[in-house]
Amino acid sequence: MAQRITICISETSYQAELNDTVTARAICDALPIQAQAQRWGGEIYFAIPVACDLEGDIRDVLDAGELGYWPAGSAFCIFFGPTPMSEDNEIRAASNVNVVGKVLGDLSSLWDVQNGEQISVKST
């Protein structure tokens, strides 16, 4: 069963669902998480206290709103637009990520997020 989470960046909240995977359950078990957002084009990422290998649905091209876990950096990733690795309008991660969920709703305000903004992820 999917787990609902809330992602708060500064004063904006986003509702999301985590998939039922080993990595998504490990992320859920680590909640709540506090971090500083980092931007890489149309991706926000931040280190989390989770250590998982690639498993299940791994990809490096994502859809807008998908959430990923990047094992190489133990990072939670929010994909919403083209990154420096993208070709044309695709959304491409630096390398394969475990797809762990999806943001529900409008993503347009994610473009306003700056490096260093406070971010929190908690169970809903």
CATH assignment at residue 76: 2.40.100.20
Task: Note the pLDDT of residue 97.
Answer: 98
Task: Note the pLDDT of residue 1.
Answer: 58
CA angle 68, 117, 29 (to 5 degrees): 40
Residue labelled with tokens 């999806």:
102
| Residues spanned by the domain of 20 | 3-123
- Number of separate domains in the chain: 1
If you write DSSP's letter for every residue of the chain in order, what string do you get?
-PEEEEEEETTEEEEEEE-SSHHHHHHHHH-SEEEE-EE-SSEEEEE-S------SSEEEEE-TTEEEEEGGGTEEEEE-S--TT-STT-EEEEEEEEEEEEEES--GGGGG--TT-EEEEEE-
pTM for the predicted model, two decimal places: 0.96
Q: Around Cβ 102, how many Cβ atoms within 10 Å? A: 18
Question: Each residue's pLDDT tens digit in the chain (124 positions)?
Answer: 589 999 999 889 999 999 999 999 999 999 999 999 999 999 999 999 999 999 988 999 999 999 999 999 999 999 999 999 999 999 999 999 999 999 999 999 999 999 999 999 999 9
Instruction: State phi, psi for 91 to the nearest 5 degrees.
Output: -110, 110
In whole angstroms, what is the distance from residue 118 CA to residue 56 CA? 30
